[in-house]
Amino acid sequence: MIEAHEVRKQFGQVKALGGVSFTARDGQITALLGPNGAGKTTLLRTLVGLLRRDHGTIAIDGIDPERDPLAVRSNIGFLTDQFGLYERLTTREYLTYFGELNGMDGSALNQRIDEVSQLLAMDDILERRSKGFSQGQRIKVALARTLLHRPRHLLLDEPSRGLDVMSTRALRDALASLREQGCCVIMATHVMQEVTHLADDVIVIAKGYTVAQGSPSELCQRTGIANLEDAFVSLVGTGEGIAA
């Protein structure tokens, strides 16, 4: 479970997070929804402990990421907007390297790489060097790395950007099965269809503040609007930042 209370973060004069509070439960996919610049990436980076918050509390299964970053990170898979692939390594070599950093090795690691590769439908790029990979191929490798050590918590920053229809489906299936396994998944996205299809719970943030949290149908009920996209627009008070 991930809990945040009144989290604030400022970069110089820019208030990226003015006050964010929410609870993301195990066995649920929680979508993080907000217009461009709302603070989603900043929030995810703060939750993992990559950024120090200015104010508020964060607990990942009860542990503050600033107090015990190693304990928290060993239980988190974080997909950022920067993948950091090594162009000279094949996908398998890259995943082996990160698996070993997480204390995995030998045939168990190889088997896990094959499992994740199948899950994400990326067998065709497993033995290729990442130099020249397309955006979708790059994000698959980064996602595979994120899932490799079977983290209990997954924080994903726009995981489906650049993926084709089949890969998007593979990703959705993968996330649904992780939910079944009891993982706590938080996913920042602009894709309403993804939220409608996948999310159990939605956190809406705008200008650095949480404006609502609830299931897609609760948000529709609360706003009295049947369509989630229109309900979202009504909650954030603007039409900006939505993918068609």
Ligand X SMILES: Nc1ncnc2c1ncn2[C@@H]1O[C@H](COP(=O)(O)OP(=O)(O)OP(=O)(O)O)[C@@H](O)[C@H]1O
- Binding residues for ligand X, per CB under 6 A? 11, 14, 16, 34, 36-42
Instruction: State which residue, 36 or 82, has the beta carbon closest to ligand X.
Output: 36
Instruction: State which residue, 50 or 63, has the beta carbon closest to ligand X.
Output: 50
* Tokens (6 digits) for 179: 């939910």
Shortest Å distance, C-beta 94 to ligand X: 25
Shortest Å distance, C-beta 81 to ligand X: 7
Shortest Å distance, C-beta 36 to ligand X: 3
Strand pairing report for 28-33 and 201-206: parallel
Instruction: State which residue, 41 or 234, has the beta carbon closest to ligand X.
Output: 41
Distance, in Å, from the CA atom of 230 to the CA atom of 157, rounded to the nearest integer, reads 23
Burial class (CB in 10 A: 0-12, 13-18, 19+), 226: exposed
Shortest Å distance, C-beta 46 to ligand X: 9
- 19 three-state secondary structure: strand
Shortest Å distance, C-beta 48 to ligand X: 13
Instruction: State which residue, 14 or 101, has the beta carbon closest to ligand X.
Output: 14
Shortest Å distance, C-beta 12 to ligand X: 6
Strand pairing report for 2-11 and 153-157: unpaired
Instruction: State which residue, 15 or 128, has the beta carbon closest to ligand X.
Output: 15
DSSP assignment letter at 23: E
- 193 three-state secondary structure: helix
In the block, tokens 């600033």 appear at 66
Other CB atoms within a 10 A radius of the CB of residue 63 amount to 15
Q: Which residues touch 106 (CB under 8 Å, ≥6 apart)?
A: none
Instruction: State which residue, 7 or 95, has the beta carbon closest to ligand X.
Output: 7
